[in-house]
Amino acid sequence: MSTYCISYDLNKSGQNYGALYEELKSSPNWCHPMDSTWLIVTGESPEQVRDRLRKHMDDNDTLLIIKVVRPYSGWLTQEVWGWLEKHVPYS
């Protein structure tokens, strides 16, 4: 299993992206630390995740998927840091 950081811009105003959010939540484990950023745990490759999510996005939306590895840094809540501690193994 790998942990990925999913970042996106949804550019069509008024569009209902509920299906995208449900798709992200269908991952074995997930965290939603910022408005347009999710962390997911999955056995899929980044390309498989991309293909799964793009079905729920418009052509003018953007998407970035990056594998999360240690070390990492940021300014997040303690809850998110705890989630990362649990789901990102030491190499």
Strands, sheet with 2-9, edge to edge from the N-terminal-most edge strand: 29-34, 37-42, 2-9, 62-67
CATH of the domain at 57: 3.30.70.240
Question: What's the pTM?
Answer: 0.91
Report the pLDDT value the prediction gives residue 10, as an integer from 0 to 100: 85
What pLDDT, on a 0 to 100 scale, did the predictor assign at position 29? 97
Residue 9 φ then ψ, to 5°: -120, 125
Domains contained in the chain, number: 1
User: How many Å apart are CA 37 and CA 41, to the nearest integer?
Assistant: 14
Q: Count CB-CB contacts under 10 A for residue 81.
A: 13
**Residue 14 — pLDDT band, cuts 50, 70, 90?**
low
Grade residue 12 by pLDDT with cuts at 50, 70 and 90: confident
Determine the structural domain holding residue 52 and report its residue range. Answer: 2-87
